Structure 1
Amino acid sequence: MSKLLFVIFLGFCVAAKAQIPQPDPDTTARHFLIVASIKSLQEVSAGNLAAQKAMRPDVKAFGQMMVKDHGDTEQKLLALAKSRHIILPSAATGAIRPDLNLEKASTRFDQLYVHAMVAGHGNTVQVFENYATAGKDPEVKAFAQQMLPTLRHHLMEIKAIEEK
């Protein structure tokens, strides 16, 4: 009887482990670069929109900074991916549009943009910190570490704008 319970218990453990998504160590660098590319392109796209639609000068200037900084980051990221022989899908390197609510916003644009940038940069910093500490590919890890100060600066800037 106890052997039967042990076998059933073991079966539940195996089934439970199978349902928990496990990271694929062979695609960690590729996955990070895909996520980082999409995030950079989202920042550029939303930044272009902010440069056009923002009412507040600080929000407009932040949008312009996003276009420049994340555009530069994207170029470095693509060069890194190429040097590592990592092919990124076109969905991660093509034209990415900002959130539809942001595009349709009128008088609330600044508020929605700032809120989106605080949340987005908080998440982006976390993604880069995770790879910078636990990443397997040393060159991709160095890239993540190199970009962190700029991303943290963006987060600090947008939080200061949010407080106004």
Structure 2
Amino acid sequence: MTKLLILAPLTLFATPVAAQVMNPTEYVTTAGASDLYERTSSQVVLETTTDPRVRSFAQMMIEHHTKSTADVKAAAAKARVPAPEPTLNSLQDELVSELRTEQGAARDAAYIAQQKESHQQALNVQKAYAAEGTVPALKAAARKIVPVVQSHIAMLMQM
């Protein structure tokens, strides 16, 4: 099961970011699902982790990804782009479920592995929309989120 947890995040996002520019609604939906996944998986790991680094990181993920969701929703409202309430896609939901089946250090390790991949995917989404998006307010939000996600990746590489 752990192998699935490590490999499955490779397809967290169905849209091949490099192949096409997302339309504004796709960007808002994808960014929202990504943030929700980060928050939900972090809440799961906080239930059992005893590792202070994992605990601190998970708490920060909840805070930062709540803020990025709010930033994207505000930008969408400003641009009059629909911003549906974020939902997990089926793979993200499965990953959270699988994370719940792990315990202790195994859960922490699975969480960190998932976070590394999901943050790289989130960075790809944000960078792509920041560079090629069609709605200025959403592009600005994406540009603001990029360095935050990059800082998360740097932290994860130290874990």
Q: TM-score range by the shorter chain?
A: 0.7 to 0.9
Q: Are 1:70 and 2:65 matched, yes or no?
A: yes
Question: What TM-score comes out, normalization by structure 1 length?
Answer: 0.75
Alignment of 1:141-152 (within 5 A): 141-152=139-150
Aligned partner of 2:81 among 80, 86, 102: 86
Aligned partner of 1:32 among 27, 34, 41: 27
> What's the C-alpha RMSD, in Å, of the aligned pairs?
2.0
Give the 4+ runs in structure 1 shifted more than 4 A: none
Distance 2:141 2:70 in 1: 12
Identity of aligned residues (%): 21
Letter in 1 for 2:99: L
Letter in 2 for 1:47: S
Letter in 2 for 1:43: E
Question: What TM-score comes out, normalization by structure 2 length?
Answer: 0.78
Contact 1:55-1:110 within 8 A present in 2 as well: no
Letter in 1 for 2:110: L
Alignment of 1:115-134 (within 5 A): 115-134=113-132
Distance 1:153 1:56 in 2: 20
Aligned partner of 2:134 among 133, 136, 142: 136
Distance 1:106 1:51 in 2: 11
| Structure 1 match to 2:16 | none
SS at match of 1:54: coil
Distance 1:141 1:71 in 2: 18
SS at match of 1:78: helix
Aligned partner of 1:103 among 96, 100, 103: 100
Structure 2 unmatched runs, 5+: 1-18
Which protein shows a greater Rg? 1
Higher RCO (CA 8 Å, separation ≥ 6 residues): 2
| Structure 2 match to 1:3 | none
Structure 1 unmatched runs, 5+: 1-21
Contact 1:49-1:63 within 8 A present in 2 as well: no
